Amino acid sequence: MAECVESELSLWDPERDLVALPGAPGRSHRLGGRVLAGFEEVRERIVAERLVKVGKPSSGRSRDPFPTLPAVTVLDASAEPLLRQRVRTVVECLERLVRRYPCDAELQEFLDVPPVLRRWILRHVEPEELRVDFCRLDLLGESLGSVRVLEFNPSSPGGVISSGMLHRFWRESSFGDVLARWGVPEAPMERPEWFADWLIDYGRERGVRDEDALRVGVFHSRLSTKFELDQVDAQLVRRGRAPVELYPDDVEGAKALRLGYLKYIPVDAGEVRRWETFCSRMVAADLVVPNALGERWVAENKLCLAALSDPRFRRLFTPRQCAALDALVPFGRKLGDGLSEAEAVADREHLVLKAPYGCRGETVTVGAQTPADAWASLVRDPAYRGWLLQEHVVASAVETRDGTYFRDLLVPVLNGRVIGYASRMNRGHLLNGSRGGAAPAVFAPHELCDTTALPPAGSGSASPTGPA
């Protein structure tokens, strides 16, 4: 497909992009009323199923319902297979960084993983076997030609579980017959126990006997919100397992556990000094946990996005992989090692600054929204040397009576396979769930399998948009 066509090919099917907020085009669409009716039913299901919103860690458990919008969108039938192929290939490239890290001195120096984490990465016996078991890519952009990946998020299943439930509620609402007539297939993440099934199978494939997987550790931070844990626990319970919530430094509590999931990476790497037994058991495979330490603490590092963009590391990838990187990864450089302070000051309006292990958008500074003198002080401060400088990518926007809503596209990848799509919409540019906003429903137009035929070059959208 030619570049000029890709730049014009929207990610969203224009006939099935039904954002029914006041003043938005979907409100006046012939199906707008159906969206609003289904929305009320979906909200009732959210309350009944106790699906709660993302809370800030300091606020404790949120009691507010998971925020959603009267919005149903289907991805463009021509754009989605190409996007999915590129997403899978870029995750392959991330895996390549994970596997190369233990033996590549230049990559080790560039990523600058804190020593307290690096020591465990280097203790993996077979780093060439490491893989990104689960991750969620956060993308911004309006068209196939403009969309870019900003985050990989290899440890956060909560948002994907919640989005899968939301999509299932829409499918089971009165709007479900429209989705059926559109031929919108079920995505794997919509299945009620997909995460528990995957985790149990992951342990079984690595030698954890069924009787040893009746209790499953859910390892989390002292600041983790219940949003991130409740639905994981609920899925495990429905599969006859007893979830055990505990901290990684709880040696006694974890002693009898053989299978678990590590929810987070500590913002303060020094916390890992208290995880000696936990990390030793993971490296020895006595405690089986997906996204092993050698994967997690490399792939979570946002400087991987700079490595995937920086020409110095193209030596690690095939021509096919480089083509996907060129298409999907935005310009990114390491401050002071790839982009100088002077260059960062001069190009402020086109750059975003991020901490290598930041989360929840708390360490993100958008140059275009920062006064020039404040930005200059920031990038010249030695404390920020080594942070990621990333191209400022323009988000997809929807105009409403209340102003512009921005939206992203989330793509969860499990064992190398895209398992669905999701999105967040907000009136602010930071679309992290903890920063407010709400979720529309985003459906794939095809079965999410590796054999989906790619559209021929230059083809346009071919969506089933008959009467509903």
DSSP annotation string for 12-63: EEEEEEEE-STTSHHHHSTTHHHHHHHHHHHHHHHHHTT-B----GGG-S--
Query: What pLDDT does residue 63 have?
Result: 74
The share of the chain scoring above pLDDT 90, in percent, equals: 78
What's the chain's length in residues?
Answer: 468
Across residues 316-340, what is the average pLDDT? Answer: 97
What pLDDT is attached to residue 5? 75
Q: Which helix (H) or strand (E) holds 318?
A: none
| 17-44: pLDDT as tens digits | 999 999 999 999 999 999 999 999 999 9
Q: Considering the chain, what percentage of its residues have pLDDT values greater than 70?
A: 91
The pLDDT score that the predictor gives to residue 158 is 86
Higher-pLDDT residue of 186 and 268 is 186
Q: Assess whether pLDDT exceeds 50 at residue 464.
A: no
Residue 375 has pLDDT above 90, yes or no: yes
User: Which is more confident, 442 or 459?
Assistant: 442
Q: What is the pLDDT of residue 33?
A: 97
Q: What is the pLDDT of residue 456?
A: 63
Higher-pLDDT residue of 360, 419: 419
Q: Cα 455 to the chain's mean position, in Å? A: 26
Written as six digits, the tokens of 270 are 């020094």
Mean pLDDT of 111-121: 94
Any idea what DSSP says for residue 281? H
Determine how many CB atoms are found less than 10 A away from the CB of residue 223. Answer: 12
| pLDDT greater than 50 at residue 49 | yes
Cα–Cα distances in Å, from 138 out to 17, 115, 411, 424, 462?
19, 28, 7, 10, 26
Give me the pLDDT at residue 225, please.
62
Contact 467, 94 (CB under 8 A): no
Could you tell me the pLDDT band of residue 224, with boundaries at 50, 70 and 90? low
| Closest CA relative to residue 11, chosen from 67, 72, 81 | 81
Question: 174 Cβ partners below 8 Å, 6+ apart?
Answer: 34, 37, 38, 41
pLDDT of residue 409: 97
Provide the pLDDT confidence category of residue 360 given band limits of 50, 70 and 90: low
Instruction: Name which residue leads in pLDDT, 174 or 157.
Output: 174
pLDDT of the residue at 281? 96
pLDDT attached to residue 294: 86
Tokens coding 12: 């969203």
Q: Torsion angle, CA of 145/150/154/156, rounded to 10 degrees?
A: -110
Q: Is the pLDDT of residue 467 over 90?
A: no
Q: Tell whether the model's pLDDT for residue 255 goes beyond 90.
A: yes
Summarize the confidence of residues 89-108 as an average pLDDT.
97
140-163 pLDDT, tens per residue? Answer: 999 999 999 999 988 778 889 999
Please tell me which residue, 294 or 191, carries the higher pLDDT value. 191
Cα gap 249→178, rounded to integer Å: 50
What is the model's pLDDT at position 62? 63
Is a pLDDT exceeding 70 seen at residue 4?
no
Q: 253: buried, middle or exposed (CB in 10 Å: 19+, 13-18, 0-12)?
A: middle
Listed range (28-42, 57-71, 166-180) with the worst mean pLDDT:
57-71
Averaged pLDDT, 98-113: 96
Q: What are 126-144's pLDDT values in tens digits?
A: 888 899 999 999 999 999 9
Compute the distance between CA of residue 155 and CA of residue 290 in angstroms, rounded to an integer: 9
Mean pLDDT, the chain, whole residue set: 90
Q: Which long-range contacts (CB under 8 A, 24 or more apart) does 316-320 make?
A: 316/93, 316/96, 316/97, 316/100, 316/104, 316/107, 317/93, 317/96, 320/89
